[in-house]
A and B are shown apart, each in its own frame.
Chain A
């Protein structure tokens, strides 16, 4: 039968599930929203949200690849947003974004250092840093928000960093594409990527072959922190303001994007394109609920239901593909 021909493909490509789910949802959303979902403006908004969530998801996917997890990315995003916006009003936004990325790298380094030094599960450490950096973000802003007046939101570097559009899409989307391309090459075609996936597949085996397991994990956390903070900077650039709550609960969406996208939480098997598709699906759902007038508080509930349903659907698909 023709369907059986797809089995090897599904076995090889864990991200097929999320693409099917995405395709089905697009059809449903487009046909039930009376044109309010599937229009150029709304798709642009979805792409902007996908871009920032996607950058974060790519970083989380890299960490998942080593067999660890980073749930502190929501707070890192917030710290990146604050750093960028506070500085962008004072210096050129390029340097503000670089400073935000440096903040993210520092947070990632703290996570990675604590995890590799103390051999404590990354779930616990990053749960702690999630709260620590959220606390710092709220304390820094003292309950208020930073903002840049409209009049000052000009200059091409400000637009370049999330504050403007290019070819009809927010510039964040192009950053996402660039970062994705670089990461794919690093992961698939460079020694670092080979060792990173080896660490996730079997840390003991990688260690026995001379791979510096701790350094690889530390690097993964640094990359993840940098991407989350950069995503925060782009979001802040888009909004023109930032407060201490930015990025709250985004860590859950990023992890959901990765898992839906076919990244194995045990490590060693990740799909970057799957994680991006996961981010797109979550952003689409969010947008659908907004344009159809569903109260925002339902979002997290419906998101949860879809995650559970999609995970079950993906598992069923996989079991079917494994059977002869």
Chain B
């Protein structure tokens, strides 16, 4: 991969995605063997700069960097649109002056990683920006699919729930379609944005249609404030009409993988039976996440910063 930053899967070629997944699979195999000492980022530094709360993504990035031999510093910035702090551009310049090599940024506003990447010499990895993209989450989903099903090409993947606010759904759509999968989307009309057909999605009019014959079924986390904003009447109704339970899952291909970016609202987007069932790969996704982040960090960070 020959680029300074990883801002989204929209910009990546199929070849670049394959390169990340291939290396990711080898890191995953190594992790399963208990090998946690690697040297790809020896002598390099990684800063995680999180403007949004996160436990799993942040921990995953930090462990990935440490397993690669990098020095890791984490910065949490409490932020809100009203709070006046240092600007992102100024923060970026400060971190850059410390000769740091890689910044992983999570930010509640779409496009923030691009603004940072345009400012700093360090490599920038998008750890999720607003409603835009969450590339490493999609990459870990794809890694999980590739590991279990052999190839992404020709797979049918159903993504259900709050598509509108989901950077995970969008990054998956871009990445999966680039590798030849069919992506079906379903959710309440209030949470289904315009125009995703133009990016190759099949927008379905029922859960059953979305799930029918699918190789994988992905639920998305629903935020409680979406109900308060009037997008649907109650969590109960959301679960009943838009959630995935065993009955809905039975329409998918036998043994279809169940995925979820976590943390899960049990009994809302997925029933507990589905979460704890044999088809669930939610825990395995976590290890895929670590592996794919090791892959991304080593591919980007092996190049000297500009």
Q: Do the two shown chains form a genuine complex with each other?
A: no
